[in-house]
A and B are shown apart, each in its own frame.
Chain A
Amino acid sequence: MADEEKNTVRETEEARLKVPGSNGSEGGKSKKARIEVMKTYKLFIDGKFPRTESGRYTVLKDNAGHSLANVCRASRKDFREAVVAARKAQAGWAAKSAFLKGQILYRIAEVLEGRKAQFADELVQMDTPQRVAEAEVRLAIDRLVYYAGWSDKYMQVFSSVNPVESPHFNFSMPEPTGVVSVLAPQETGLAGLISTIAPAIVGGNTVVVLASEKFPLSAITFGEVLHSSDVPGGVVNILTGNHVELLAHFSNHMDVNACIYCGDDAEQIKTVQVNAALNVKRAVIYPKNDWFESGSQSPYRIMDLQEIKTTWHPVGF
């Protein structure tokens, strides 16, 4: 058939169907396309989904230049509110039994397992190859199960009864450091996020996380998973925004007990460390990493955010 004839056929077809929104140039889309409800991505603070108080946003685009979402550009005030929420939630979260924390982490894994397809799709939207996206979601689920299993064990492995010379019963055990700010890894949307959140919270800390700038969507959708998994509000708070802008606040806040920085930028690392000195917060640096490696999950990442408490008591009638 000649080209002219082909065009005529196509035009006739389109005219005949007269379906609004159909676009012959979008390969694969049905000509009877249904209008989808587009998703709004907000922040996750104190168990709720507020927009940034600053009203600012960044347009997230894929490699081909298509807009994916208007992502909230969190401000230092959002961070401040998140820290307040995290602090309020911390004592109660730490006081929950190890069994319960483990149950909650396992529940997060259950819910994420049920939403595998959604998370893989989202990663694919952000230009992750399909197979890699699926593998990443499976890894995230299994890693949550891994850390759930540590909840009632790390204390046994890392505590001690100390045979002091005087007649005292003396024991040492880990205690959570408190509120932890996390500058999540930039190179993944989900694996890195979970690898930093899980060991922090299983140890009784509460966190404020700044999602990857390049892959922020998974972080907010993960907030939805947390929200439906019996995780108390304020235990995990998730912000999206400009990494460089917020770095100072994440590392200099006087009511934050530890700051995790993920990355290799020497200047940024130094900034974090200098700011940490303001209140002697623990500065924890995790270099750029293959998050799929088994070495990137370990009880030592739990212990990075624990204090050790030693208690003495006399022994005698």
Chain B
Amino acid sequence: MTADATLKFFSNTPAIDLAGVEERVVRLTRRSIKKDSKVQALKLAMSMLDLTTLEAKDTPGKVIQLCNKAMHPHDAVPGIPPVAAVCVYPTMVHVAKKALGKSKVKVAAVATAFPGGMTRKKLKVQETKWAVEEGADEIDMVISRGKFLAGEYTYVYDEIAEIKAACGKAHLKVILETGELSTLDNVRRASDLAMQAGADFIKTSTGKIQPAATLPVTLVMLEAIRDYYYATGKKIGMKPAGGIATSKLAIQYLVTLRETLGDGWLTPSLFRFGASSLANDILMQILKQQTGVYQSIDYFSKD
């Protein structure tokens, strides 16, 4: 890393101690969220979902089904909020936009040669602009991990800034792909870099590799957001994506959020879950709380 980069981007970036982070995470997972706290958390989690389909075999039919689920998670039970957004490939944006009509559910598009990002910057900018033209409200981009690990921080910074400019009114989530960054120090650095370059949200993963989102990585990113807030007054959002399949885990993420950033971030405009099967698990848990009886997946729609 050049001295230049250290001063420029990382002068306020602290060292991260893995054992300490893991210990804090364990303590957060020991919170026992029951009764009314649990129901509120489940509903909040539902409202923060970015229902996702990012498969090479996606078809318009699949995307339309997903959008229907997004707008009507389980109409049989009142009080279930719609999800925050659907997340699709740019080629499916127009399908989603049409299917969602006037609903408040947003359309997020992955862009920049997702998931690898291994192409020319020019093409990534082009793709972003096109996705926004198609109607995307939000863009989820990937950083160039190879460049990052090679220490070319200015390149990574510039790339994010250019994509941000290409987004226009759409808001930008920057995917760090933490599973490839190897250390929590790198996760922190990448977070600081992305926020300085203009990210509206920092996001953990593409969900295409293991490990995807984890609690330790999320804690480090939330702490980066906190420091950035106190330094600039700006509130940046956060999105863990991939591997969050159970309500129990989702609630642990919400506890981590609540006890790190506080009440101000407990809203879909600043926190999202990138998930697909989580929705039904949340529904089953809400029903269990209401009826006192453990549920079966047979009673909830699968798309």
Q: Check whether chain A touches chain B (CB < 8 angstroms).
A: no
- Which of A's residues lie within 8 Å of B, judged by CB? none
